[in-house]
Amino acid sequence: MTSSISLDGKRILVTGGVRGLGQAFAEAAVTAGAKVAIADILEDEGQKAADQMGAAFVTLDLAEPASIANCMDQVAEKLGGLDGLVNCGAIATGIGGPTMMETEIDVWDKVMSVNVRGTWLMSKAAVPHLAANDNSKIINIASDTALWGAPKLMSYVASKGAVISMTRSMSRELGADGIAVNCIAPGLTMVEATEYVPEDRKKQYIDGRALQREQLPEDITGTALFLLSDAADFVTGQCLAVNGGFVMN
């Protein structure tokens, strides 16, 4: 993909950058001229992916606060600072199907620790580096499931709803540091993490969209590049639903 949005000179960290949307965001940022680091728990795959896209790689376990702190220290050293953070790392597979009555407490807690606490701690660790520069950006990747209340996915939906609300609160607190904080709520996107989704749910999305087709990673990367760019310097506290019109807010 060739980008028309420039990120020349920007130093960007993408968590969960080895596969799926995270990989697409990282590749798009590299194409747009940014110096990029990807962070992921998949160490062997991560180094290979980073080498292929021309990025740096750092190991990250979002469930472990010490790993988050260590990751940020390494990223700041490798990139020489930080201008943008894309919080894409999350638990999305293997948690769909059970009803709210069937969801196990340990699954709920694990999803919350990674998707919510991990996003908060990653952002917290990044703030000193982002605040050192003008017009820095944080993008939190949420999900449109939190906007329409997808059933049989409650721990994930709740975690992404928290990410949306947290984005608004973070934008208020970090505005004084010149940091813009926004989130993107993608629809069901055709990536490895969504392969397990039942066909009836995939059909529900396609049929319910104003633009009736499958959603691909490249349908979302342009929005992320815009929010990371200088063109979005006065955009903050917003949740952009990018889902072909399945949810309109």
Catalytic residues: 156
Amino acid at 189: T
DSSP SS3 for 74? helix
- Surface-to-core class of residue 112, CB atoms within 10 Å of its CB (0-12 exposed, 13-18 middle, 19+ buried): middle
> Is the four-CA dihedral 235, 237, 57, 218 of positive or negative sign?
negative
- For residues 112 and 157, give the distance between their C-alpha atoms in angstroms, rounded to a whole number: 10
Q: In angstroms, rounded to a whole number, what is the distance separating the alpha carbons of residues 95 and 107?
A: 7
CA angle 146/17/147 to nearest 5° reads 10
Which residue's structure tokens are 């960290």? 13
User: Looking at residue 230, what DSSP letter applies?
Assistant: G
